[in-house]
Chain A
Amino acid sequence: GNSVTQMEGPVTLSEEAFLTINCTYTATGYPSLFWYVQYPGEGLQLLLKATKADDKGSNKGFEATYRKETTSFHLEKGSVQVSDSAVYFCALSPQGGSEKLVFGKGTKLTVNP
């Protein structure tokens, strides 16, 4: 079946540090891949996405590249800010579209000043 595995949290960094949150997936064919972010007390917001192999999604300084060969979609940011503190979810939608997203377990990020 389809599944998403992301690194266990929580992750604590100092401001301006480099961030990587690992995400790997299991799916047949070419799923679409997403990163969602949940700020404290809020719902999920789409952060970035990639719909085919080697695509790079980017937004707000975050990037992730769809790697078919390693079935990965790692999230990176060169210099985090306190305002990036949130829970980050990797997700996939199976090839051909599907009526559901499959989420990873989420990684909580705390950025200290």
Chain B
Amino acid sequence: DTAVSQTPKYLVTQMGNDKSIKCEQNLGHDTMYWYKQDSKKFLKIMFSYNNKELIINETVPNRFSPKSPDKAHLNLHINSLELGDSAVYFCASSRGAPGMNTEAFFGQGTRLTVV
């Protein structure tokens, strides 16, 4: 009955590879997000989708491409992985915008290590 689930939990891969991280939420939320947490624990938003439409795209390299097949899923595909992509990636969802009385629910995170 996990609310926001992402797979895999750990991902170790070589530079130059292409990889995907999947995220699913069973909360019926309209908005989903991808956040990146660096080694110093700093969290920064990457993307946000509302009802399958991209609404936030922060300054992220083109190698990162989110895909939302339906509003319950938001996958993250990364091409040509680089060492600097190593981080923990968190998926999150919220009923609407995360202000007022809504809150964002986070997945457990995917620890990506590029070697």
Q: Residues on A close to B: CB < 8 A?
A: 31-32, 34, 36, 38, 41-46, 49, 51, 87, 89, 93-101, 103, 105-106, 108
Contacts of B48 in A (CB 8 A): 99-100
A105 and B42 contact, CB distance less than 8 A: yes
Q: Which of B11-19, B61-69, B78-86, B94-102 contacts its partner?
A: B94-102
Contact B103 A46 (CB under 8 A): yes
How far is it, in angstroms, between the C-alpha of A99 and the C-alpha of B100 when the chains are bound?
12
Query: In the docked arrangement, what's the CA distance between A94 and B100, Å?
Result: 9
Please tell me the size bucket of the interface on B: 20 to 34
Q: Decide: A101 and B107 in contact? CB cutoff 8 A.
A: no
Q: Is the CB of A99 within 8 A of B106?
A: no
A97-B44 in contact given A42-B108, A43-B109, A45-B106 (Cβ < 8 Å): no
Q: Which of A94, A96, A97 has the most CB of B within 10 A?
A: A97
**Chain A residue with Cβ nearest B4:** A43
B97 touches A105 (CB 8 A): no
Interface contact A96-B99, CB-CB below 8 Å:
yes
Does B100 lie within 8 Å of A97, measured CB to CB? yes
- CB-based contact A105/B56 at 8 Å: no
Asked whether A101 lies within 8 Å of B55 as measured between CB atoms, the reply is no
- Known contacts A51-B99, A87-B41; A100 and B108 CB within 8 A of each other: no
Q: Is there contact, CB below 8 Å, between B43 and A89?
A: yes
**CB <8 Å contact, B99 and A97:** yes
B104 near A105: Cβ-Cβ < 8 Å: no
